[in-house]
Amino acid sequence: MLDQFAHALLGLLEALAALVLGALAWLEGWLGHAMTQAHIPPDLQTVVGIILAIAFLIAAIQLFGGFIRVVVIVVLLAIVVHALSHHGEHAPAVAAAPSKT
């Protein structure tokens, strides 16, 4: 059950990353079209695009950073709880040492 929980949280992080990257791709396309219509040279478009992409990613990290931190901590705690709950189940049997009597 904890494996499914951790998997679901990691899937949520993956979906969040896909959302941010999809928004970034849309913004890049829209901005490129707008700058082309404004006759801005391609070299300048590249520089502006890189600067805005970095600013967008920083904003996304600021916006979702706390959420991502909480999800990572919860996943790590779930892994620890899972490991502790199964501790000893897979341990090899230890044969008793012969007595010296």
Tell me: pLDDT of 70 over 60: yes
> Structural domain of residue 45, as residue ranges?
2-84
33-56 pLDDT per residue, tens: 999 999 999 899 889 888 988 888
Of 26, 5, 18, the residue nearest 64 (C-alpha): 18
Q: What is the pTM of this model?
A: 0.58
- What the block records as the tokens of 95 is 């044969």
* Domain presence at residue 45: yes
Q: How many domains does the chain have?
A: 1
Q: How far apart are CA 47 and CA 1, in angstroms?
A: 48
**Which residue do the tokens 């499914």 mark?**
4
* Domain presence at residue 62: yes
* Domain presence at residue 53: yes
Show the CA angle centred on residue 66, arms to residues 60 and 69, nearest 5°.
110
89-100 pLDDT per residue, tens: 555 555 555 666
